[in-house]
Amino acid sequence: MKDGVSGGDVRRVVAASLIGATIEWYDFFLYGAVAGIVFNKLFFPANDPFISILLAYTTFAIGFVARPLGGLIFGHLGDRIGRKSVLVATLLIMGVSTVLIGLLPTFQQIGMAAPIMLVILRVLQGIGLGGEWGGAVLMAYEYAPDNQRGFYASLPQIGLAIGLCLSSGVVAILSGLPDADFLSWGWRVAFIASFLLVAVGLYIRLRVIETPEFQRLKEENAVAKMPFVEMLRDYPVSILLGMGARYIDGVFFNVFAVFSIAYLTQLAPIKVSRPVALWAVSAAALVMIVTIPIFGKLSDRLGRPKTYALGALLLAISAYPAFWLLGGGSPVVIFLAMIIPFGVLYAICYGPEAALFADLFDPRVRYSGISFVYQFSGIFASGITPIIATYLLQANNNQPWYLVGYVVFASLVSMASALAIAARQGRRG
Q: Residue 255: helix, strand or coil by DSSP?
A: helix
Which of residues 411 and 425 earns the better pLDDT score?
411
Domain count, the chain: 1
Average pLDDT over residues 30-42: 78
Mean pLDDT over each residue of the chain, to the nearest integer: 87
Average pLDDT over residues 397-410: 91
Per-residue confidence (pLDDT) for residue 329, from 0 to 100: 78
Q: For residue 17, how far is the Cα from the chain centroid?
A: 15
pLDDT of 3 strictly over 60: no
* Domain membership flag for residue 253: yes
Per-residue confidence (pLDDT) for residue 429, from 0 to 100: 47
* Domain membership flag for residue 2: no
* Domain membership flag for residue 57: yes
* Domain membership flag for residue 319: yes
pLDDT of 408 strictly over 90: yes
pLDDT of 37 strictly over 80: no
pLDDT of 18 strictly over 90: no
Average pLDDT over residues 222-227: 84
pTM flag (> 0.95) = no
- Rounded to 10 deg, the angle between the 346-358 and 304-326 helix axes is 150
Query: pLDDT tens for residues 131-171?
Result: 888 888 888 898 888 889 999 999 999 988 898 888 878 88
Q: How far is CA 221 from CA 232, 327, 368, 412, in A?
A: 21, 59, 18, 43
CATH number at residue 148: 1.20.1250.20
Cα–Cα distance for residue pair 153/159, rounded to 1 Å? 11
Model confidence at 7, in pLDDT bands (50, 70, 90)?
low
* Domain membership flag for residue 374: yes
Cα–Cα distance for residue pair 387/409, rounded to 1 Å? 17
* Domain membership flag for residue 1: no
Q: Say if CB 293 and CB 176 are below 8 A apart.
A: no
Q: Which DSSP letter does residue 269 get?
A: S
pLDDT of 47 strictly over 90: no
Cα–Cα distance for residue pair 181/40, rounded to 1 Å? 16
Query: pLDDT tens for residues 239-294?
Result: 999 999 999 999 999 899 888 888 888 877 788 888 888 889 889 999 999 999 99
Q: Say if CB 233 and CB 365 are below 8 A apart.
A: no
pLDDT of 90 strictly over 80: yes
pLDDT of 393 strictly over 80: yes
Q: Residue 160: helix, strand or coil by DSSP?
A: helix
Which of residues 172 and 342 earns the better pLDDT score?
342
* Domain membership flag for residue 33: yes
Q: Which domain covers residue 20, as residue numbers?
A: 7-428
Q: Which DSSP letter does residue 264 get?
A: I
Q: φ, ψ for residue 165 (rounded to 5)?
A: -60, -45
Please list, in sequence order, all residues whose beta carbon lies within 8 angstroms of the beta carbon of residue 150, skipping any fewer than 6 positions away: 296, 297, 298, 299, 300, 304, 351, 352, 355
Query: pLDDT tens for residues 99-109?
Result: 999 999 988 88
Model confidence at 303, in pLDDT bands (50, 70, 90)?
very high
* Domain membership flag for residue 341: yes
Per-residue confidence (pLDDT) for residue 332, from 0 to 100: 92
pLDDT of 370 strictly over 80: yes
Which of residues 171 and 420 earns the better pLDDT score?
420
